Every structure is written in structure tokens, then in C-alpha cells.
Structure 1
Amino acid sequence: MTTLITARLTLRGPRPGDLDDLHAIYGDRRAMRYWSSLPHGELDTTQAMLDRMIATFADQPTYFIWEHAGRAIGAGGMHDPWEVGFILHPDHWRNGLAHEAMSAIILHLWTTTEAPALTADTDPRNAASFGLLASLGFVETGRARNTFFVGGEWSDSIYLALARP
């Protein structure tokens, strides 16, 4: 199984035992504020997502669970062909962990895939996500209005890309 180690994190495949930690992330309104779906209200929703993650990781180790101090605190990597994304529990925001994780994952993606470039999509109101992507070298390629309708609210998108080095 593919595992990446950084100074503070273990980036690994999903496990059945991650359910409670992942539900704490995907069920948190703050973490899901700019996500493309509502927070997970039921554990079954997170279980279904975790089952999909486990099923795909063995064949495509590109989207990782971020483990810190023995707990799953986030997830991220490539989830669609060439598109990256990430989520981190709010208790760990502003500590550089997302930058640390995504830096390692991007290097892994360049060495294990044929991606000509990586892309990302973020809500313009999510300054932290946009800032992280910019610090990783992503550049804005376009914008679109009303791209997601979640919880009775439209959100816009900023599209970004990172060219293969």
C-alpha cells in the first residue's frame, strides 16, 4: 500500500477504522462551508464515502487520508482525472499541515501519473484554499458563476492549474 511520510503527517490509504474521524471532518459545517455538498448529517453518508475511497485506493493511490498523532485529520489528493482537492478538520487549520500534505502528494502525482497538469476548483470566498493553491504554484485559469447549488445557496468557482515541471 502506498504511504507518504512528511515531517508531521502520514499520508495513507483509507481504512474502515477512519469512519469516526472522517465523519468529524465531513460532518463539520466549517470544514464543509465551501464543499460541493452539505455536511454529512448521518454516519451512513460518511460510511458510503469511505467505502468508495477504500475501493478505489488500491487501484489508484492518489487521494490520501492525512493522519496526525494517530488520528485522521484530513484528506486530499487527486480525486478526478488531474483534479486535486483537500479537506482538513478546522482544529488543524492555519498550521501549515495542508501545505505539507499537498506538497508531498503533488510530488507523488508527478512521479506516478502521466498528468500533463493538475487542476483545482475553489470557491472565491475561500481565501485560505485559494492561498494554499497559489503557494503550491497553481495559477488562475478562469472563473465561473453559479457552479454549485448547495443548501439553497449558489457558489462560484475559480479554476486553477499547475503545469507539470
Structure 2
Amino acid sequence: MLKTQRLILRGPRADDLDDMFALFSDPRVMRYWSTPVHKNRDVTADMLKWRIKNWPDWPHYFQIEHEGRVVGSAGNHRSTEIGFMLSPDHWRKGIITEAMSAIIPHLWDTTDHDELTADADPLNAASIGLLTSLGFVETHRAKKTFFINGVWSDSVYFSLPRPLQVPAK
């Protein structure tokens, strides 16, 4: 678990289902996500069970708890790739910046990644701006990377190299 001024970043729990379904069933949240909107709770419940089962082996993708509710998720979800999602009720309040500012140093401390990577839809200006503000640099772009609900999306890819460590004197 990580704590920031406003947030608790923690592993998934069974009682997160309602909050997670609210996120994954919201078309605004899922607009640039790599899977379709969850049409029923069973899809979200299966995903949550998987996250709970795998948390002990991969404790790097966090539930974002704010004022007692899960309002999003963020972290390193596979390989070196990071990602994040947030309830629209909390957009433009610095929540993901605050979360990732705690998560990134944690990842450097707890993984052997040489870099962190991310991808975003080129139309997702908010995520691109956030990644850039965190120090990520665009590496390349690709066409037709996701086909969700009959629509192709493109991707822009980013990288954040591991900081150089200055030897202690």
C-alpha cells in the first residue's frame, strides 16, 4: 500500500466491485481503453477476481482510493507498461498525477525495469499530457492497434527510462 496526501493506493478487494463496475461500465472512462465497456457486473467481477488472485505475485497495479471509494486504478499492469483510469467525477483534479508520482518511484524501487512504457490513443490529449508531464517521451506511433466495437484506434507509445543513480560518496 502507498499513501499520498489525498489517496490510498492499494491492492484490489472483493468489496471494490461496485466502484469498479461504475468505472468499467462508463463509456467516458472506456473511450480510450483497450477493451469494450462492461455490459454487466459479471465481466467486472471476473476481472476483479483475477486481480485479487494475482496481486500477491504482481503488486504493482493499484486501486486508487479517495475518500473511502475506489475512483480509479493505476500502475504497472504488465511487462514494463503502465496505465491508469479515473472516474470522470475526479478528472482534472490531479488525482492521477498524484497517484503516478507515488507509483513511479515505487516501481523503480521494487522492479528491475530499465524503463517504463505506456501507450495512448493519439486523440486522448489528457493522457498524453499527463504522460508528458511525468517525464515520458514519445517513441513512436502505430495505426490500427485496437479494434473495439467495430472501430479501429491508433496508438502513440511512450517511454520513461530508469533514472541514473548517483553513487553514494
Please, what TM-score do these two structures have when normalized by structure 1?
0.98
Where in structure 2 are the equivalents of 1:8-157 lying within 5 Å? 8-157=6-155
1:114 CA displacement = 0.1
* CA displacement, residues 98-149 of structure 1 (integer Å, 9 cap, x when unaligned): 0000111111000000000000010000000000000000000000000000
* CA displacement, residues 75-120 of structure 1 (integer Å, 9 cap, x when unaligned): 0100111100000011100000000001111110000000000000
1:8 CA displacement = 0.5
Give distance in 1, aligned partners of 2:4 and 2:99.
7
Query: Which runs of 4 or more aligned residues in structure 1 lie more than 6 Å from their structure 2 counterparts after TM superposition?
Result: none
Letter in 2 for 1:16: A
Unaligned runs of 5+ residues in structure 1 are: none
Q: Share of identical aligned residues, percent?
A: 58
Please, what TM-score do these two structures have when normalized by structure 2?
0.95
Unaligned runs of 5+ residues in structure 2 are: 164-169
Number of residue pairs matched by the alignment: 163
Please report the RMSD computed on the Cα atoms of aligned residues, expressed in angstroms. 0.5
Query: 5, 10, 25: which one pairs with 2:3?
Result: 5
